[in-house]
Structure 1
């Protein structure tokens, strides 16, 4: 059996193509897809990696084997069954995933090939990317999770809190604005993390915290979600295809695709799911929501918020 060092040398000289082939698919997905082909010992290695993904897989092969209570050769065999030459090559794929997750907007542009910029008008290229995001997101979305979140939001005995990051706070605000019309007991958290403990004071096992967090994942949001979960709150996470670390404490996770031919990620797939949830929650609560809408329209008329064309 070759040593880990020999596998490392192989990876450096011959492994680039294999990384491109096996690593093009997330290591997480490869592990899940290979479950039926793995031995009990190899499955334990996969479970350890998935438990703290992807950082658990960045440790030395010896440390990973120790955590999984298996031998070092078992870890290497598991990596080979996933399509890699050895464990170092698997780690290279994980490093690529991590680099992709935290890529800054300026680096995203650097990574785009000059050739791609000439393939049709930007409007068409962007629309095609959005359609791919929507299609891919819907293919991986679990309807059971969708229905469960809709039920949570339709239950007014459960206070609902909404929060987003530097970019996604707009998504959180939009979601909150609509749910606030449909039902009571809804709160949009302040943009200032310093006051979040004030909201945490009122969170308990009845509470639902809706969090939006896409790359480059924000530490303040992660801490908020962890504290809310410790207080018994149900955490719902909207994140990208790579997955925010908040997924470790979230009971319900929407992994939605955000890639676009731009310096910035696209949240259109996220908004599609948000709007579908708004429609479903409204349908579940229509008898009560109808009265709220009528009362709200009366207030608009009195305050003359909108123009009256009649």
Structure 2
């Protein structure tokens, strides 16, 4: 768990003074953790010994040890693909069995994601996506927009009022103005967090929208606003963070939403297929021969013999 996650998990076990210190840290994390202990005592209205007891309960040998760990986490958050490539070992060097080794690393990443995720939080997010009274919006960044598009494409087949927030004729920030209590934003934001995504979610939250956040183990700043936070593992032997675990969570949300909607989702899918003519696309084996005939190359016309 990240330090921020450890603070949250420890909250129920803390004394009132320690809780004030913990909440002060969380309210402005990580900035509050990088200041002096005197600055934190002023923020938290708690004594220095109280803060030292809190850092001790978090498993650190003193406040400086705590700060060093926070700084290391912040540095890891901000790493670029180039800096990740320079840090060893990120890329396997084996010439044989490369794919098998890579699959083993991906499998391990999925297993770590299953430990990171809180099942109750995931179930809550799925219940919200299945609520017909909610309007669902998705938003991603430079690479994570692929996840947002994937969720919208399939979720729209299960229920109405689903759309992706994209830059078009209406600027991204303006699209938050019409949101309200019935709006739900599914945001995808990973390390090297993107200002546009963070600002949009802040504005949407002010308008009353609720937020489902899919992020990395270090948690996007949007986590402070979100009602449902779904951390996934992104670290694999590559200079690029992996989206595979995040995609698995998206697929789980889709499967869970389908299960909750039941016959209503099936009826909508049937309507969409009839309207789009999808039933005419190449499909079952029983229609394959007839369907393939549509694409058969035209026969060449027979050439007439010229009479001598």
> Do the structures match in fold with TM over 0.5?
yes
Question: C-alpha distance in 1, partners of 2:21/2:93?
Answer: 42
Aligned to 2:151: 175
Q: CA RMSD in A?
A: 2.6
Q: Structure 1 185/80 Cα, relative in aligned 2: closer, same or farther at 3 Å? A: closer
Alignment check: 8 A CA contact 2:33 2:67 kept? yes
Aligned to 1:148: 124
Question: C-alpha distance in 2, partners of 1:305/1:225?
Answer: 39
The equivalences for 1:262-301 within 5 A come to: 262-301=238-277
Question: C-alpha distance in 2, partners of 1:306/1:299?
Answer: 16
Please state how far the C-alpha of 1:114 moved relative to its aligned partner. 8.0
Question: C-alpha distance in 1, partners of 2:140/2:187?
Answer: 6
Please state how far the C-alpha of 1:29 moved relative to its aligned partner. 4.5
Question: C-alpha distance in 2, partners of 1:115/1:156?
Answer: 45
Q: Structure 1 280/206 Cα, relative in aligned 2: closer, same or farther at 3 Å? A: same
Deviates more, 1:105-114 or 1:221-230: 105-114
Question: C-alpha distance in 2, partners of 1:193/1:166?
Answer: 19
**Deviation digits for residues 286-308 of structure 1, max 9, x if unmatched?**
32222222233234437966677
Alignment check: 8 A CA contact 1:193 1:220 kept? no
TM-score scaled by length of structure 1: 0.83
Gaps of 5+ in 2: 291-308
Alignment check: 8 A CA contact 1:109 1:262 kept? yes
SS at 1:195 equivalent: coil
Aligned to 1:225: 201
Deviates more, 1:202-211 or 1:128-137: 128-137
Question: C-alpha distance in 2, partners of 1:110/1:86?
Answer: 32
Alignment check: 8 A CA contact 1:76 1:87 kept? yes
Please state how far the C-alpha of 1:80 moved relative to its aligned partner. 3.7
Aligned to 2:233: 257
TM-score scaled by length of structure 2: 0.83
**Deviation digits for residues 197-238 of structure 1, max 9, x if unmatched?**
342232111011110001110011011001111111111111
Gaps of 5+ in 1: 1-24
**Deviation digits for residues 236-262 of structure 1, max 9, x if unmatched?**
111011100001111111011111100
Alignment check: 8 A CA contact 1:300 1:306 kept? no
SS at 2:171 equivalent: helix
Aligned to 1:46: 22
The equivalences for 1:184-195 within 5 A come to: 184-191=160-167, 195=171
Alignment check: 8 A CA contact 2:85 2:239 kept? yes
Aligned to 1:163: 139
**Deviation digits for residues 173-203 of structure 1, max 9, x if unmatched?**
0000001111111111114697123422321
Question: C-alpha distance in 1, partners of 2:108/2:49?
Answer: 39
Deviates more, 1:35-44 or 1:103-112: 35-44
Question: C-alpha distance in 1, partners of 2:156/2:28?
Answer: 35
Aligned pair count reads: 286
Aligned to 1:203: 179
SS at 1:264 equivalent: coil
